[in-house]
Amino acid sequence: MNIEFKELLIRSFSLDVLEFTWEITNSTLDPHNFHWYVERSESPEGPWDPIAGPFSDRYIFLDNRVNLLDRWRQLYYRLKSESKSDATNVVYSSAATQGAEPDLIAKEIQLLEQTVWREFTGRKCWVFPVRSFGQYCPNCMDVGKGGTFRKLRSNCLTCYDTQWAGGYLDPMEIYIQFDPNPKASQQQGTGELQQSNTTARLGNFPLLKPRDIIVEAENRRWRVVQVASTQRLRHVVHQEITLHEIVKGDTEFALKIDVGVLRELEPSPTRNFSNPQNLEAAEDEDFVGSLKAYGHNPS
C-alpha cells in the first residue's frame, strides 16, 4: 500500500513563484515511511522532470524556479510517493495545473463534448506540445562561451527549429473535428507555393497553444496558429483552433509516432462504419439475438 494524494491546487499572485498544495487520503499509513517528490512538465502526459524531493509529511511546495512571463505557457505538476522500504512501491498523483476549478455544469459540458468528438464527429489525432523552455539546442544555437544565443541554421533535427533541445513533448492522443480546408497556390521565383489553412475544434483536453503540432492519421501535419476557447466561470470547456498545414518535407515531419500496427488504426468512430442490423457487421451474437427478440430480422 502507498499514500494517495488528493485536492491538488496551484495558486499564485506573483510572477516569481507558484504555490503547489495538496492533501492525502485518510489512511493508517505513516507518511514518514515514504519519500515524496514533486515533478513538473509542460504537458499533462509528460515527460516529467523531478524538481523537489525527497521529503515526507509536507503539503506545500513553492516553485521559485519558474518563468511565468510566457503568456501561453501551461505548467503541470504531479506528486510521486515512493516507499522507503520498497523502491518498487510507487504511486503518482494526477496532474494539476493553474486554472479555474470546473463546477458541475462545466463538468457535464466536458463529458458531453468528449462523447461527441470520440463517438460521432471527431477524428483520432496526435498533438505534440511545443517546448517553451529548457536546454538550448547545442546543434543550431550559438550557446558557446560568449555566445549570442542566436539560431545559426535551420532544419535542425535536434530541436525541430524550436531552439529548445527535443523541440516537442511526448505526443498525446486526442479527438478533433476538422473543417474542410480551401486549397490555394502562389507562384514564386523558386516554384509554386501550395498553402492550406483550416479551422477545427475539440474539448478542453489538452489545452492547446500556438505552435503545437497536430498529426492526422493520414500524416497530414498542422501547426496551431490561434486558439479561442469557450469558458464556464473561467474554466475552459471548448476550444476553437486555427491551423496551418505544414509543407511536406519540413522538419516537423521527422517527429515520430508509435501507434503499433497501422492497419489496425481506426481514426474515425467505428460505430459510423457498421450497421448493427447487418449479420456480417455484428460480431456480438448476443446483440443479434436481442434484435430478433424484439421483432427485428437482421439481414
Here the CATH number for the domain that contains residue 91 is 2.60.40.10
Mark whether 112 and 238 lie in a shared domain: yes
Give the per-residue pLDDT at 277. 64
Residue 298 above 70 pLDDT?
Answer: no
| Tens-digit pLDDT profile for residues 203-256 | 999 999 999 999 999 999 999 999 999 999 999 999 999 999 999 889 999 999
In terms of residue numbers, what domain contains 109? Answer: 104-130+168-263
- Whether residue 206 has a cis bond before it, omega within 30° of 0: yes
Q: Across the chain, what does the average pLDDT equal?
A: 88
- In a domain, residue 18? The reply is yes
For the chain, the first-to-last Cα distance in angstroms comes to 53
For the chain, give the longest Cα–Cα distance: 82
How many domains, in total, are found in the chain?
Answer: 2
Asked whether 217 and 137 are in contact (CB, 8 A), the reply is no
- In a domain, residue 288? The reply is no
> How does DSSP classify residue 150?
-
- In a domain, residue 254? The reply is yes
Residue 287 above 70 pLDDT?
Answer: no
Distance between CA atoms of residues 116 and 286, nearest Å: 26
Here the CATH number for the domain that contains residue 118 is 2.40.30
As a 3-state breakdown, the chain gives helix, strand, coil percent values, each rounded to 5, of 15, 35, 50
Mark whether 180 and 87 lie in a shared domain: no
Mark whether 125 and 172 lie in a shared domain: yes
- In a domain, residue 56? The reply is yes
Residue 281 above 60 pLDDT?
Answer: no
Mark whether 79 and 124 lie in a shared domain: no
Give the per-residue pLDDT at 152. 84
The residue from 77, 97, 117 where one domain ends is 97
Mark whether 43 and 109 lie in a shared domain: no
Confidence of residue 280 (pLDDT cuts 50, 70, 90): low
- In a domain, residue 84? The reply is yes
Beta carbons within 8 Å of 48's beta carbon, 6+ residues apart = 39, 40, 41, 78
3-state SS, residue 110:
helix
Give the per-residue pLDDT at 297. 65
Here the cell at position 19 is: 504555490
Give the per-residue pLDDT at 188. 77
Distance between CA atoms of residues 19 and 10, nearest Å: 6
| Tens-digit pLDDT profile for residues 150-190 | 888 888 999 999 999 999 999 999 999 999 988 888 887 77
3-state SS, residue 185:
strand
Q: Any idea of the CA torsion for 270, 273, 279, 283, to the nearest 10 degrees?
A: -10
Confidence of residue 290 (pLDDT cuts 50, 70, 90): low
- In a domain, residue 162? The reply is no
Residue 96 above 90 pLDDT?
Answer: yes
Here the cell at position 146 is: 560568449
- In a domain, residue 138? The reply is no
Report H helices in the chain.
104-116, 285-293
- In a domain, residue 154? The reply is no
Mark whether 214 and 83 lie in a shared domain: no
Confidence of residue 198 (pLDDT cuts 50, 70, 90): very high
